[in-house]
Structures are given as structure tokens and as C-alpha cells.
Amino acid sequence: MIAVIMAGGKGTRFWPRSTVTKPKQFLTLASEEATMLQQTYARFRSCLPEENVYVAVSENYLPIVREQLPELGENRIIIEPEQRDTAPCIALTASFFMRLERDEVLVTAPSDQYIPDTEELMEALRAAEQAARNDGVVVTLGIVPTRAETGYGYIETIENVEYAAKFGERIKEVKAFIEKPTKEKAEKLIELPNMYWNSGIFIWKPSTIAGYMMEYQPQMWSVFDLKDDEFRQSYALLPKLSIDYALVEKLERLYTIPIEFMWDDVGTWTSLERIFSTDGDGNLLLGNIFPFATRNSIIYTEQQLVVAIGVEDLIIVSTEEGLLICRKSDEQNVKHAIAALTADQEGRQA
């Protein structure tokens, strides 16, 4: 089995700590010693041989990857000419291994997830690998939900005795993908026994990816027949599509291995409350901070002293890049606000 760590995301919901020049996968968010990328790499290296762990990254982040993973050989870096979301990245990955005439099962995994139990993760991946060896079979890890989360997509499954007998008792057939729900809908979804969070971790063969790309995204797949400058120019023009939207939601031979161990995609500031301990007032304080009559808030500062008085249910983040002040309940809008800010700045420069 081969693990491909996708390290090309922007992590805008972690602004102003996560920036375009150094997004969250290259930051020490879930650990004081290692970045998210370093943790993910170590997780797979603890269970797989060195030659079977790869990193897929856009060209502009190559220097950071080389700095943070000096042990990673150049032949194990899959380079995207530009960031184009997970569908082009995974298509590039499949093309990369097809050219090497290697069709072992791939795990395509994000670089910014928190999974402390490596042993249980690998046990689930090995179970998924058995099914994914079959042509056309795609397996994902489904997370047993612990709260009414609006920031994740959901997977609805059904029991299938035939598939369970063929691929193992743990496996479930996927009936439908459900987009990120409202709070009210999420509260109903987590009451259902056949509902899981979509982890974004997929297990499949390069030939399986290639076959589905030719069927559902032929224009995108045709780009990988091009060479050198023509390929680079065409890749830069590919649509920014997630792999879920481009392929996975369209598939029939799709299965899930449910997992119950600790998992978090570390996608927002409040996710840190599930990793680190809060104080007696429910505050998560990172940096030089003096809270006074402050409750249930997340405050981060890199250098200057922050004094918070009478603050409740807020996210306050101070870095050289900027200052964020946001209600916890509005944190999903950080991404949209930064997109609007970027568009405004680009409009002023035009």
C-alpha cells in the first residue's frame, strides 16, 4: 500500500495564522513540536516503508516541504504546477503512478488531520485495502459523528450482506453523500445509525482513479497526456474541483469503513478546543494573554500582549498578518470573509 499526502490546501479558515505563503499544513497547530505535515508524514512512516510514502504539493510550496521533510526524496514528491483542488491533484497522482507502471492500492489523505491513534488508523486502512484491490472499488473512511457538525460532509450508508461477505464485515455500502448541513439538519443526521462524517481519506488503485476520470472527467484526464510546457499551461487552466464533486459522488462501487477513534480535520479555530485543554473559564489561551472576566473564548497571539476584558464566545487572533475578531458561531464565515478581502485587495491593485 502507498500513502500519498496531499499538502496543497490554503487553510483560509485559520487566517491570520494560516496565510497564502504558509498555510495551515505547514504550521504547528496540533503540536508544539511538529507541523501538521510532519505529523501526517510520521504517522504513515511508522507503518509503511519509506519508499511508499509520497507527498503531493503545488510547486510554490516545494521549498517548505523540503525544509520540513528533509528525509523525503525528490522522487517521492508529486509536483502540481499550480493549486487546483483535490480532483486535479488526485488525477495527477494516478497519472504519476500509472507512468511508473505501479498499480498498488493508494491512500490519498489530507495533510492537516489530527489522528493520534496510528495503530487503529492503519488497521482500518488495511481492511479498506483488501476491498480496494478489486478493480473499480473505492473505499473511504467514515467517521462516527460525535456532534452536530456543520463544517463536514456526511455519508449515508446501507448494510449489504453480499459486500460484507466479499470485502469484510466492517465495510458498508455508500448510499449517498450529503453536503455540509445546517445546524438543524446536522442534529437530525447524527441521530441516524447509518450516518458518518466524510473523512476525505480515500483508498483506491491508480487504475481505478484513471478509469473513473476517463468516464466522468475526460477533459481533465486528457491533460495528463500532454508534455512539459503544454501540460503546465493546461493544468493551470483546470477547474478547481473537489474529488467528491468531480468523481466520488457519482460512483456506484463506493464503500465506507466506519471508524470511532479520535479524528479531527483541524479545519477551524474551535477544532483546537478538541485537542488542547481549556482553562477553568473555558478559554483556550495560546500566547501572552491576560484574560479578565473572559469566558469560552479562543485567544492566540504571536508577540504582543493581549488583554481580554469581558469577552465571551469570541475568537481573537493576533499575528503579523493581521487581527481576527469573530464570534465562535460565525467561524465558518472566516473563509468567505478572507475571499472577499482578497478580491477587494486585488480590485484596488488593478
Please list the pLDDT of the chain residue by residue as tens digits (350 residues): 999 999 988 888 999 999 999 999 999 999 889 999 999 999 999 999 999 999 999 999 999 999 999 999 999 999 999 999 999 999 999 999 999 999 999 999 999 999 999 999 999 999 999 999 999 999 999 999 999 998 899 999 998 777 777 777 789 999 999 988 999 999 999 999 899 999 999 999 999 999 999 999 999 999 999 999 999 999 999 999 999 999 999 998 899 999 989 999 998 999 999 999 999 999 999 999 999 999 999 999 998 999 999 999 999 999 999 999 999 999 989 999 999 998 888 777 76
Q: Are residues 155 and 221 in the same domain?
A: yes
C-alpha cell at 52: 511508499
Listed residues 206, 241, 267: the one ending a domain: 267
Residue range(s) defining the domain that contains residue 248: 2-267
Residue 95 and residue 31 share a domain:
yes
Identify the CA nearest to 114 among candidates 234, 272, 236, 304.
272
The verdict on 319 and 283 lying in the same domain is yes
Q: Are residues 102 and 240 in the same domain?
A: yes
Residues 173 and 137 in one domain: yes
Same domain, 260 and 345: no
Distance CA 82, CA 96 (A): 16
- What are 20's three cell numbers? 497564502
Residue 205 and residue 312 in one domain:
no
Give the three cell numbers for residue 246: 468531480
Annotate 16-33 with b (16+ C-beta within 10 A) or e (fewer): bbbbeeebbbbbebbeee
Q: What is the CATH number of the domain that holds 217?
A: 3.90.550.10
Question: Which of 220, 244, 267 is the last residue in one of the domains?
Answer: 267
Domains in the chain: how many in total?
2
Residues 221 and 299 in one domain: no
> What's this model's pTM, rounded to 2 decimal places?
0.93
* 86, 108: one domain: yes
Same domain as 211, residue 294: no
